Amino acid sequence: MSDERKEQEDGLKPGERADRRVRADAKRNLDGLLQAALTVFATSGVDAPVREIAEKAGVGIGTVYRHFPERSDLVVAVFRREIDACADAAPILAAEHAPGEALARWMQRFVDFIAAKRGLAAALHSGNPAFDALPAYFQQRLQPALRSLLDAAAAAGEVRTDIAAEDLLNAAASLSMHAYAQGSEHARRMVSLLVDGLRYGAVQR
Amino acid sequence: MSDERKEQEDGLKPGERADRRVRADAKRNLDGLLQAALTVFATSGVDAPVREIAEKAGVGIGTVYRHFPERSDLVVAVFRREIDACADAAPILAAEHAPGEALARWMQRFVDFIAAKRGLAAALHSGNPAFDALPAYFQQRLQPALRSLLDAAAAAGEVRTDIAAEDLLNAAASLSMHAYAQGSEHARRMVSLLVDGLRYGAVQR
DNA sequence: TTATATACGGAACAATGTTCCGCTTTGCAA
DNA sequence: TTGCAAAGCGGAACATTGTTCCGTATATAA
């Protein structure tokens, strides 16, 4: 929260951000670890051995546990990182495309995210309390992202206004997860249908 | 596959069913094991150690693995047994109550089943191929059970006829699983609502 | 009662999560 | 540049749990 207050006590020049000097190698390892974990989770599933991830990242097991006290902490970190990436895509798409198009593209991006993280979704419902906070983070991060796109598209008269971001998000998530069994292409089409539904009752201007 | 051919070599009298004599103690242990597993899974979750189940059943670990070559086999056996129990409840309820009432009661029984097996549901989606056959068994066993109740209630004019057993079953399962987060009471009410919906358009006689 | 196939129990092994600690690297300052 | 203390690292060692193996015990047929 407010760790930067003690900057004054240290008498450090502003910009040095010394309150939490993170050694360069530590940051390097942490980044590599998250990257390796993402890859390994995707190929071997979320139950892949910690040793495999450590090896892939080129670090020792001890290093993994230094950054993530428990295995589940690593899983959570990877998941949150992916949620962030998906949320961050919203403003980028909004800057590059017309409101309706940006919305449609983001929804497809979201489908990809859910499809790729299907394994993690199973972990969420495993009963492990370590994952309890993830659903809330999911909503908290993605709802505003979608809402901004939705509002912009609505303001431009490209989509109707009677659908809440929350409902659309959950509907798309459900569709993506259940439809995945019939192939990711099917999931894409279903969500596309959903977006077209939004366009249907649009009020021009 | 065809081990029963040697019955002739043994020269056994018909009715002795000697092709696979099961020793009494073996059957006793198997039953106790399933019972213990059901209890342990309910209290400690499906990830409970095999040793814990063996101890609860009062047998050695070797005995567990004699009956169930892999841990997942035990999980599957317990799950199938519960599915069977739920399916078997249908004809019993049908004999004890009027068609509409029997249907309503069975649906509540089904909600209890899903709620109690929520932990197992997570295992189903874990990606472990050992559980691949369970969903099919679930449908295969419960659909006919529900259909018989539904048909009887429809024939008695107590419910409408335009809802398929398959759809009703899946809808109830979805409701039970998702609504469980808001408490089992909520799940009960939602499924009750579903059944009342069935009664709504009933054609008397 | 005896012979034997069947079943049992649990030690031993293997895989994997987690802890611990001596060694190395980094960043700072003299 | 050099020295040093703190931060970080690696991996052996430990703990837990799934699985295998085999000597021993027992139910059943004759």
pLDDT digits (tens, 9 = 90+) for B151-192: 999 999 999 998 999 989 988 888 887 666 667 788 888 889
Nearest to A91 by CA among A111, A112, A106: A106
Chain B nearest CA to A46, separation (Å): 10
Q: Which two tokens stand for residue B118?
A: 């929520």
Q: Do B122 and A122 touch (CB under 8 A)?
A: yes
Is A123 in a helix, a strand, or coil? helix
Q: What is the nearest nucleotide to B62, using C1' and CA? A: C9
- CA–chain centroid gap for B59, Å, is 25
Q: Give me the residue label for tokens 């559980």.
A: B131
d(CA B23, CA B133): 29
User: What is the average pLDDT score of chain B?
Assistant: 86
Among the partner residues B119, B125, B127, nearest to A127 by beta-carbon distance: B119
pLDDT at B31 (0 to 100) = 97
Residue nearest to nucleotide D27 (CA to C1'): B23
E strands along chain B, which residues? none
pLDDT at A10 (0 to 100) = 36
Chain B nearest CA to A3, separation (Å): 36
Q: Which two tokens stand for residue A75?
A: 């899983």
| pLDDT tens, per residue, chain A with 205 residues | 333 333 333 333 333 334 457 899 999 999 999 999 999 999 999 999 999 999 999 999 999 999 999 999 999 999 999 999 999 999 999 999 999 999 999 999 999 999 888 778 778 877 789 999 999 999 999 999 999 999 999 999 999 998 999 989 988 888 887 666 667 788 888 889 989 999 987 776 5
**List of chain B residues with pLDDT < 50:** 1-19
Residue nearest to nucleotide D8 (CA to C1'): A26
A126 Cβ under 8 Å from any chain B Cβ: yes
Please report residues of B whose CB lies closer than 8 A to that of A173.
none
CA of A97 to C1' of C18 (A): 49
pLDDT at A127 (0 to 100) = 78
d(CA A200, CA A116): 30
d(CA A161, CA A151): 8
Nucleotides of C under 7 A from a protein CB: 6-12, 15-21, 25-28
pLDDT at B120 (0 to 100) = 80
pLDDT tens digits, A160-179: 998 999 989 988 888 887 66
Q: Do A122 and B125 touch (CB under 8 A)?
A: yes
Please report residues of A whose CB lies closer than 8 A to that of B174.
none
* B14 beta carbon to strand C: under 7 Å: no
Among the partner residues B45, B47, B127, nearest to A122 by beta-carbon distance: B127
Please report residues of B whose CB lies closer than 8 A to that of A127.
45, 119, 122
* B130 beta carbon to strand D: under 7 Å: no
Rg (CA), chain A: 20
Q: Is residue B124 packed enough to be buried (19+ CB in 10 Å), middle (13-18) or exposed (0-12)?
A: middle
Q: Which of A114, A125, A128, A177 has the highest number of chain B CBs within 10 A, making it the mutation to test binding with B?
A: A125
Among the partner residues B121, B122, B127, nearest to A119 by beta-carbon distance: B127
Phi, psi at B61, each rounded to 5°: -65, -40
pTM: 0.82
Task: Dihedral sign for Cα A40, A41, A44, A46, please.
Answer: positive
CB B125 within 8 A of CB A125: yes
Q: What is the nearest nucleotide to A64, using C1' and CA? A: D9
pLDDT at A18 (0 to 100) = 41
Alpha helices in chain A (DSSP H): 7-10, 24-44, 50-57, 61-67, 71-96, 99-116, 118-124, 134-155, 165-179, 184-200
Task: Give A55's contacts (C-beta < 8 A, 6+ positions apart).
Answer: none
Nearest to A109 by CA among A77, A139, A146, A140: A146
Q: Do A127 and B122 touch (CB under 8 A)?
A: yes
CA of A61 to C1' of D11 (A): 7
Phi, psi at A128, each rounded to 5°: -70, 115
B129 Cβ under 8 Å from any chain A Cβ: no
Q: What is the nearest nucleotide to A23, using C1' and CA? A: C26
B32 Cβ under 8 Å from any chain A Cβ: no
